[in-house]
């Protein structure tokens, strides 16, 4: 059994997903979600509505189920006078269907600024159309390779840029003890400071999640490292934080060089500044690296709940 399991991970890392998780698929999602007609995907605007419709249509095409208790892919809520919604799709598990693994990325961004000269649209290609492209590609991959004994929830969180509103709301709707892991993806469109075929994981030492990923990628060319920008407190600044505060081992994968990314939160964060190869290789590594958790063989340790 162990051998079979290792073989499956090896196949995912090296061959299994190369057909499904391709640069073409990544580019399709990336260019669509960061197009000017999405108007910067600010939560509560017409632009983000277009992005949500695209994500929903992809969930439908892929054949995802709806999340328990919802009659559509939308999880609606009101906050700050705005009608907001996360978009959630599901692949039910087999033997461990009551154990959830979340694969997430925020789909909102900053919108537009009318008083700017020239380009007024914050397209948010790296932040975070790249992460949503990963969620969609992973949904397609796990839907075609049904290795999940655990139930996978694919979540596009809203209003991250307004202070993690979508992930905080989502966190209130789940029993934290039922959630085995949170796999969050942010800004994977630029080559990592560690070089090609590498990514970093936030909060690496806060659970055994990162070590499990490293173990599963031992035979792969792709390597993951602890977050090199500890002073930027990135563990607390993305949607994983809303889940980690509940004790869930929820971490963020990223590749971006945060110390020298001149496009971060600028109108220049456009799809043509990104590297589809980095994105597709990173998605494949996330598929292989998390597969033992998704299959139910590994369970990361919980995050200690602190007031920090």
Q: Which is nearer to Zn ion, 110 or 152 (CB)?
A: 110
Minimum CB separation of residue 161 from Zn ion in Å reads 7
Q: Which is nearer to Zn ion, 75 or 184 (CB)?
A: 184
At residue 94, φ and ψ (nearest 5 deg) are -95, -95
Minimum CB separation of residue 190 from Zn ion in Å reads 13
| Interacting span for Zn ion (CB under 5 A) from 74-82, 127-135, 219-227, 282-290 | 127-135
State the Cα–Cα distance between residues 102 and 124, nearest whole angstrom: 22
Minimum CB separation of residue 127 from Zn ion in Å reads 4
Minimum CB separation of residue 186 from Zn ion in Å reads 5
With vertex at residue 261, the alpha carbon angle to CA 258 and CA 263, rounded to the nearest 5 degrees, is: 135
| Interacting span for Zn ion (CB under 5 A) from 24-32, 128-136, 175-183, 266-274 | 128-136
Q: Binders of Zn ion among 186-205, rule CB under 5 A? A: 186
Q: Which is nearer to Zn ion, 186 or 227 (CB)?
A: 186
Q: Which is nearer to Zn ion, 127 or 269 (CB)?
A: 127
Distances (CA, A) of 76 to 33, 103, 112, 229: 21, 19, 24, 34
DSSP characters for 31-62? HHHTSGGGGGG-TTSHHHHHHHHHHHHHHHHH
Minimum CB separation of residue 32 from Zn ion in Å reads 18
Minimum CB separation of residue 109 from Zn ion in Å reads 8
State the Cα–Cα distance between residues 100 and 92, nearest whole angstrom: 9
**Which of 17, 34, 86, 128 touches Zn ion by CB under 5 A?**
128
Tokens 């698929």 locate to 25
Minimum CB separation of residue 258 from Zn ion in Å reads 11
Do 47 and 41 touch, CB atoms closer than 8 A?
A: yes
Tokens 């269907």 locate to 97
State the Cα–Cα distance between residues 290 and 185, nearest whole angstrom: 13
How deeply is 7 buried, as exposed, middle or buried, from its count of CB atoms within 10 A (0-12, 13-18, 19+)? exposed
Q: Which is nearer to Zn ion, 127 or 227 (CB)?
A: 127
Cis-peptide into 285, omega within 30 deg: no
Q: Which is nearer to Zn ion, 128 or 291 (CB)?
A: 128
Q: Which is nearer to Zn ion, 159 or 217 (CB)?
A: 159
**Which of 127, 239, 275, 298 touches Zn ion by CB under 5 A?**
127
At a CB cut-off of 8 Å and minimum separation 6, what does 134 contact?
A: 105, 185, 188, 279, 282, 283, 286
Considering the rule CB under 5 A, would residue 35 count as an interface residue with Zn ion?
no
- Structure tokens belonging to residue 20: 């499904």
Query: Interface mask (CB under 5 A) for Zn ion, residues 73-92, using x and -?
Result: --------------------
Q: Binders of Zn ion among 170-189, rule CB under 5 A? A: 186
Minimum CB separation of residue 209 from Zn ion in Å reads 20
Distances (CA, A) of 136 to 62, 63, 113, 155, 172: 9, 12, 29, 10, 24
Instruction: Give the binding site for Zn ion (CB under 5 A).
Output: 127-128, 186
């Amino acid at each position: 059994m162990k051998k079979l399991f290792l073989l499956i991970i090896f196949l995912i890392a090296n061959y299994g997903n190369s057909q499904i998780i391709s640069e073409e698929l990544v580019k399709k999602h990336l260019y669509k979600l960061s197009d000017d007609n999405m108007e910067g995907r600010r939560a509560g605007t017409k632009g983000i509505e277009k992005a949500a419709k695209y994500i929903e249509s992809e969930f439908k095409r892929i054949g995802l189920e709806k999340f328990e208790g919802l009659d559509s892919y939308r999880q609606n809520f009101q906050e700050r006078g705005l009608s907001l919604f996360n978009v959630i799709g599901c692949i039910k598990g087999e033997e461990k269907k009551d154990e959830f693994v979340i694969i997430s990325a925020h789909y909102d961004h900053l919108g537009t600024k009318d008083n700017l000269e020239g380009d007024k649209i914050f397209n948010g290609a790296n932040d975070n159309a790249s992460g949503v492209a990963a969620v969609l590609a992973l949904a397609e991959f796990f839907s075609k390779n049904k290795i999940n004994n655990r139930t996978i929830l694919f979540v596009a969180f809203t209003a991250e840029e307004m202070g993690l509103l979508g992930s905080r709301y989502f966190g209130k709707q789940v029993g934290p003890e039922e959630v085995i892991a949170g796999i969050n993806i942010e800004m994977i469109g630029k080559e990592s400071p560690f070089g090609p075929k590498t990514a970093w994981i936030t909060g690496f030492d806060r659970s055994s999640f990162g070590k499990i990923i490293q173990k599963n990628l031992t035979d792969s060319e792709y390597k993951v490292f602890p977050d090199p920008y500890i002073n930027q407190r990135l563990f607390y600044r993305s949607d994983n934080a809303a889940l980690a505060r509940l004790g869930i081992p929820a971490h963020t994968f990223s590749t971006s060089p945060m110390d020298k990314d001149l496009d971060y939160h600028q109108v220049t964060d456009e799809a043509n500044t990104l590297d589809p190869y980095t994105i597709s290789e990173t998605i494949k590594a996330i598929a292989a690296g998390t597969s033992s958790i998704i299959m139910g063989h590994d369970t990361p340790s919980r995050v200690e709940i602190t007031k920090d």
